[in-house]
Structure formats: C-alpha cells, structure tokens
Amino acid sequence: MTDSTRPDKIEQNLRNMTEGRSSQELVFDPRTGQLRVTSQPHPDDIVATDAAATGYFR
C-alpha cells in the first residue's frame, strides 16, 4: 500500500479539505479501484475532491 492510498492519509486529507487547507486532490483511480491522494492526478483518474468536501465519502 503506497502512502497515497493509506486510509489515515486519505482521512487527514479529507479533514484538511473540509477546513479549506488541502493542496492535494482526492481521486478515484479506476485502474486500481482505490481512492488516493495526489497533487498530480492521472488523466484517467476521477477527481473526487468536491464530492468528498460535501461529505459524500464520510
């Protein structure tokens, strides 16, 4: 498991997003089926930052 897919890393990024302090994106990677945190999303990734900020992934 890479650092970007660790549950605690994703949870911390979600907290930062809801507080307006995140510089990274939460993305769903369709190749792996996982959520991950990145500052450089791959073109195939589905950016989920807005959905997460509104509470969808909580």
Tell me whether residue 30 is in a domain: yes
Long-range contacts of the stretch 14-18 (C-beta < 8 A, 24+)? 14/52, 14/57, 14/58, 17/49, 17/52, 17/53, 18/53
Question: Starting at the edge strand that comes first in sequence, how are the strands of the sheet with 34-38 ordered?
Answer: 34-38, 25-29, 46-47
Tell me whether residue 58 is in a domain: no
Tell me whether residue 7 is in a domain: yes
Q: What is the pTM of this model?
A: 0.71
Tell me whether residue 22 is in a domain: yes
Tell me whether residue 48 is in a domain: yes
Tell me whether residue 11 is in a domain: yes
**Does residue 29 have a pLDDT over 70?**
yes
Q: Say what percent of the chain tops pLDDT 90.
A: 19
Domain of 33 in residue numbering reads as 3-53
pLDDT, greater one: 4 or 54: 4
- Structurally, how many domains does the chain consist of? 1
Q: For residue 43, what pLDDT band results from cuts at 50, 70 and 90?
A: very high
